[in-house]
Amino acid sequence: MNLDTNVDLDVLGTGPGGTDLRDYLQMCTGVDHTQLSAEYMRLPADYAFWNEKYAAVYATYQKRKSYTEQTKSRRKMELREVLISTGDRVSEARLDSEVAHDDEYVSARLLEIEAEAKVKYLYGVLDVLRTKRDMLISLGAHQRAEMSM
């Protein structure tokens, strides 16, 4: 598999209507206590938006992880051939050590780490939205209890 490692991972782009993504995140995670019903109604759309972003970044992460593994395997095979042809001793530990310092492998690994960090970030956003949903349910129940008193 030939992966274009120059592809920009920033698939996040902008929020709906071209809004700044950080501003949109603030709108999604904030709560207007006077508009609980409206907040609760917009939650599925917010969750769908961020889940789509998560899925795109997760796919990129999986591709980069696969590319890193392929690069490591290929570089180990190439290094093994070189060591055998020169008569040097070949061990898995030596191969792992040499590959860990290989520029191509290190570049692939750094791209994988970058993608994994974005996956974790977006997972956190989704977790905040799940917490917001639970909080809105609780606040709505509390508000109804106060009204019935």
Note the pLDDT of residue 5. 39
Note the pLDDT of residue 7. 37
Note the pLDDT of residue 11. 59
Note the pLDDT of residue 10. 52
pLDDT averages per 10-residue partition of the chain, 149 residues: 40 78 86 86 93 94 97 96 92 94 96 94 93 89 80
Note the pLDDT of residue 82. 94
Q: Which residues contact 128 (CB under 8 A, 6 or more apart)?
A: 29
Contact 129, 43 (CB under 8 A): yes
Count the neighbouring beta carbons within 10 Å of the beta carbon of residue 50: 22
Nearest Cα to Cα of residue 132 among 57, 44, 48, 58: 44
Note the pLDDT of residue 31. 86
Nearest Cα to Cα of residue 74 among 147, 1, 149: 1
Cα–Cα distances in angstroms (integers) from residue 19 to residues 43, 60, 68, 75, 146, in the given order: 17, 24, 34, 44, 37
Cα–Cα distances in angstroms (integers) from residue 107 to residues 55, 77, 90, 117, in the given order: 23, 18, 24, 16
Nearest Cα to Cα of residue 29 among 136, 143, 144, 140: 136
Note the pLDDT of residue 3. 38
Q: What SS3 state is found at 6?
A: coil
